[in-house]
Amino acid sequence: MRSIVFLSSILLLFGCKSKSISYSFIGKDELHIFLNNWHQSAAEAHFDGYFNAIADDGIFIGTDAKENWSKEQFKVFAKPYFDRGKAWNFKVIQRNIYFSKDQKIVWFDELLTTQMKICRGSGVIQKTKDGWKIKHYVLSMTVPNENVDEVVKVKAKLEDILLEELVKN
């Protein structure tokens, strides 16, 4: 009997919790479409479509430790890729989306299949008068735990030099 009461309490607790956040389900569909279109713009080399999705004060952090760009810096880096008609093609495997209570700020994480194999993206999106805008995006390569030592050996020489530079500054 105690286990039934406990289980009922748990179900009631989570049932109430999910009802309290159910307002975001329609918005999640909208955000999935927004993010999928953003990735598709890169795959189809639509420069304006891709960068219009990023807030003017947006930040893009790439897989290299030196890649922490403002929107304008990222545009300069990316333009040659878009100009040749093929930027990058990230396809979503899995995505989680979370809303602030006022539904104006969203944070998300996603697993992507890319030319670098599985990558993880995460970011913050803000609702503006012009629609949703990406304020912050981080792209990172995933490393299986059993391969960390090998990966560290590969990147050690270059990153040891970078670490010295970063510590000096």
User: Does residue 17 belong to any structural domain of this protein?
Assistant: no
User: Does residue 89 belong to any structural domain of this protein?
Assistant: yes
User: Does residue 6 belong to any structural domain of this protein?
Assistant: no
Please, are residues 53 and 39 in contact by the beta-carbon 8 Å criterion?
no
User: Does residue 10 belong to any structural domain of this protein?
Assistant: no
User: Does residue 122 belong to any structural domain of this protein?
Assistant: yes
> For 50-80, how does the pLDDT look when each residue is reduced to its tens digit (9 = 90+)?
999 999 999 999 999 999 999 999 999 999 9
CATH number at residue 115: 3.10.450.50
User: Does residue 106 belong to any structural domain of this protein?
Assistant: yes
Compute the distance between CA of residue 77 and CA of residue 99 in angstroms, rounded to an integer: 31
The pLDDT assigned to 13 comes to 39
Residue 75 lies in domain? 23-168
Q: What are phi and psi of 13, to 5 degrees?
A: -60, -50
Residue type at 117?
A: K
Residue corresponding to tokens 């396809």: 91
User: Does residue 100 belong to any structural domain of this protein?
Assistant: yes
State the DSSP H helix or E strand holding residue 122, giving kind and residue range, or none if neither: strand 117-128
User: Does residue 9 belong to any structural domain of this protein?
Assistant: no
> For 72-111, how does the pLDDT look when each residue is reduced to its tens digit (9 = 90+)?
999 999 999 999 998 999 999 999 999 999 999 999 999 9
Q: What are phi and psi of 124, to 5 degrees?
A: -130, 135
> What pTM did the predictor assign?
0.82
Compute the distance between CA of residue 62 and CA of residue 77 in angstroms, rounded to an integer: 11
Domain count for the chain: 1
